[in-house]
Structure 1
Amino acid sequence: MAVFTPVSLDDVGQWITQFPLGQATALKGIASGIENSNFFLSTEAGEYVLTIFENLSFEQLPFYLQLMRHLAQHGVLVPAPVANEQGELCVALHGKPASIVSKLEGSSQMAPQPVHCAAVGAMLAKMHLAGRDFPLRQPNLRGLSWWRETAPQLLPVISAAEASLLHDEMQFQEAFAAGATYARLQAGPVHADLFRNNVMFDGERLTGFFDFYFAGCDTWLFDVAVTVNDWCIDLDSGVLDAARVRAMLDAYHAVRPFTTDEQAAWQPMLRAAALRFWLSRLYDLHKPREAEILTPHDPTHFERILRERIATPAPQLY
């Protein structure tokens, strides 16, 4: 993630004594993403990731960290949060919430093949099922309510073509979300940001999902749509690759079968997933925050995906 809060090894040295990890031996900022300050942390006990949360509060964080712990306990491959001697998963560092989680093996697969998409689909379905009895509830904080708040801030500063697309798609999504089919969709905790860079592989073996800090409760189908819109496309055009789509959806369906309502909602949900990230990237572009390390994302990428989803029907769920 982008580093907004500078932290030195000396800063971590005293702070980490409350965790059962021994001394900190190395610390390196991670320069990708734009939401939190992340660091690779080496300790006498092993390799970890330290996160300082720039936007989430102490009150919000139990949902994310306890969800990760719950999923790990149910066999889902995710980083395990480390508790301090008081059993706390989140502790202040430089006055901000901070946590330590285990570091996953492997690396991100940025040129996925159908075999990788199938592994992601199966694990995503397993994650959804594992979350059914998770007791905490929090809405998707980048869902429809956030779109309603954000779109009016962007309309005055984007181009006429962008404004026309945004206005029309918001109307479409408002009508879709108010319909009976949407109301019947199965829901629960979702990752909501399962891009290629948030999954680790060792060869063809999936080693874990990470970065759950956009997670919330939403429809499972939205989570699938977000994932397909990143893993199963040609990055230059946004066009879906049928083989990768089929591999991901079939693997998911084998673990958690899709419903007839989900089949009916599939095309609108792919558009909703594209809209969500187009909006957030427009927002980050036009209303940026200062950061020591910043990797901005191009909003036109998801504008292309949204226009493509409107123009071209996607492969069916099953």
Structure 2
Amino acid sequence: MAVFTAVGLGDLTQWIKQFPLGNAVALKGIASGIENSNFFLTTERGEYVLTIFENLGFDQLPFYLKLMRHLAERGIPVPAPVANDQGELVVALHGKPASIVSKLEGSSQMAPQPAHCAAVGAMLARMHLAGRDFPMEQPNLRGLGWWNETTPKVLPFLTAANDHLLRAEMHFQEAFAGSAHYCALPHGPVHADLFRNNVMFVGTRLTGFFDFYFAGCDTWLFDVAVTLNDWCIDLDTGVIDQARARAMLDAYHAERPFTEDERASWQQMLRAAALRFWLSRLYDLHLPREAELLTPHDPSHFERILRERIATPAPELFHG
């Protein structure tokens, strides 16, 4: 669990008055996430989530919060940001940007079955389509540019074998990003971090996507690859579960058919998605920030996934 900025109920007594939520009556730190300080907030009007942003600035946050509002208005189940009495979605708390959003119903499904994966695939496609007319632009801040900046920072900490793997995969991904197939991929706003703990279910009914604070404009296929690399694998080995993967891809394709350029780029994109999270976990482990409570994720998990994606072809995007 990460709580970088400590907040108590007393800190909210006056601060909460600018929101149409009544008084704050309970506050509890959320035991997940390593980027922001998150709290379950109960007020006289209901249950919400309070986030204090540790890395993102006031100028960056409108993209994420307005994207969430845009998607919610188009029927995508995402947390709805609450504006203060000045119409602002981002307000300072302890000198840092903070926001309040509605709390989703349900709980995370950490042992997904094909039905859960199908629901995620279908909703992800709907989310991509709903974001097509979102007017704001922001690149994926953990995309290729960040990989190039971060690689030399983590290389000194790696074994010889992993040094070779990282350098070779960076060369591979640079070439892929310059290919004609890649340049033709459909793109728009993406979640970019749609792991099991960022989706809510009641039974097999999907009740929402949340934690959009890695979102940006990127290829939709990258979003699919990130999602499949978490939802449709054996966690111990990184091997893809064929039934779950097929359920997710078929459900997505039924809502927003994949293109031939996406089919041609699929294997490379699964490797890109694994590389992105291997790099970020290496960075968090070896170059950590101070936090009240912080347990970095194990980088070896995505090292295994990357090696598996290089060695073994994944299921095709679609039949035909």
Same fold (TM over 0.5): yes
2: CA distance, partners of 1:219 / 1:183 = 9
Which amino acid in 2 is paired with 1:153?
Answer: K
Does the 8 A contact of 1:24 with 1:44 survive in 2?
yes
Partner of 1:253: 253
Which amino acid in 2 is paired with 1:156?
Answer: P
Which amino acid in 2 is paired with 1:144?
Answer: L
Does the 8 A contact of 1:20 with 1:85 survive in 2?
yes
State percent identity of aligned pairs: 81
Measure how far apart 1:294 and its partner are.
1.1
> Is 1:183 paired with 2:188?
no
Partner of 1:208: 208
Question: Cα deviation per residue 1:114-165 (whole Å; 9 max; x = unaligned)?
Answer: 0000000000000000000000000000000000000011111211111000
SS at match of 1:40: strand
Q: Give unmatched runs, 5+ long, in structure 1.
A: none
Partner of 1:193: 193
Partner of 1:156: 156
Which amino acid in 2 is paired with 1:186?
Answer: P
Measure how far apart 1:31 and its partner are.
2.2
Question: Cα deviation per residue 1:275-304 (whole Å; 9 max; x = unaligned)?
Answer: 000000000000001111112100000000
SS at match of 1:138: coil
Question: Cα deviation per residue 1:186-242 (whole Å; 9 max; x = unaligned)?
Answer: 000000000000000001100000000000000000000000000000000000000
Measure how far apart 1:33 and its partner are.
1.6
Q: Give unmatched runs, 5+ long, in structure 2.
A: none
1: CA distance, partners of 2:81 / 2:298 = 31
Partner of 1:28: 28
Does the 8 A contact of 1:31 with 1:293 survive in 2?
no
1: CA distance, partners of 2:235 / 2:31 = 21
Which amino acid in 1 is paired with 2:158?
Answer: I
Which amino acid in 2 is paired with 1:222?
Answer: F
1: CA distance, partners of 2:299 / 2:217 = 25
Partner of 1:18: 18
1: CA distance, partners of 2:9 / 2:295 = 23
2: CA distance, partners of 1:181 / 1:258 = 13
1: CA distance, partners of 2:104 / 2:293 = 23
2: CA distance, partners of 1:13 / 1:288 = 32
Which amino acid in 1 is paired with 2:144?
Answer: L
Which amino acid in 2 is paired with 1:122?
Answer: A
SS at match of 1:208: strand
Please show how residues 95-134 of structure 1 align to structure 2 within 5 Å.
95-134=95-134
Aligned length: 318
> Deviation above 4 Å: which 4+ runs of structure 1?
none
